[in-house]
């Protein structure tokens, strides 16, 4: 895992974020989500520079969307420097207040 993934996993694991259950490196169809919340049908991806303007990422996001999942993508730098904002965005996507 990248430093950003480690930090985010520390915040999400063991239901630490408002008692919401997340899985790490979870399979979803033919893909692997960095983090997955089945209850709220949410996929979270932590992206580095290699993902800038990635057509593959758009294709990857279509499959979960067709199954009713929402995908949130965060740049690694934002996870590391704006952690509270990232957590607030994830909470909001789950319909919760941060």
Whole-model pTM: value is 0.89
C-alpha–C-alpha distance, residues 74 and 11, integer Å: 14
48 domain-assigned:
yes
Instruction: Please tell me the total count of domains within the chain.
Output: 1
Q: Indicate if the pLDDT at residue 52 is higher than 60.
A: no
C-alpha–C-alpha distance, residues 57 and 84, integer Å: 25
Question: What rounded mean pLDDT belongs to the chain?
Answer: 92
83 domain-assigned:
yes
13 domain-assigned:
yes
68 domain-assigned:
yes
71 domain-assigned:
yes
Average confidence (pLDDT) over 30-36: 95
98 domain-assigned:
no
- Identify the bridge partners of residue 43 per DSSP, sorted by sequence position: 36, 71
Residue in the structure block whose two tokens are 């520390």: 10
Both tokens of 88, joined, read 């607030």
84 domain-assigned:
yes
The pLDDT value given to residue 58: 75
- Identify the bridge partners of residue 49 per DSSP, sorted by sequence position: none
86 domain-assigned:
yes
Burial of 12 (0-12, 13-18, 19+ CB in 10 A): buried
Domain of 43? 3-93
Q: Is the dihedral of CA 67, 69, 57, 34 positive or negative?
A: negative
Q: Indicate if the pLDDT at residue 60 is higher than 70.
A: yes
Domain with residue 55: its CATH number is 3.40.960.10
């Amino acid at each position: 895992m990248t430093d950003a993934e480690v930090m985010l996993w520390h915040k999400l694991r063991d239901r630490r974020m408002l008692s919401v259950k997340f899985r790490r490196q979870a399979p979803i169809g033919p893909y692997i989500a960095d983090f997955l919340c089945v209850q709220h049908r949410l996929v979270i991806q932590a992206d580095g520079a290699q993902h800038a303007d990635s057509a593959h990422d758009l294709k990857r996001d279509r499959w979960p969307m067709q199954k009713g999942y929402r995908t949130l993508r965060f740049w690694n730098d934002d996870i590391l420097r704006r952690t509270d904002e990232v957590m607030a965005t994830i909470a909001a996507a789950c319909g919760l207040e941060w």
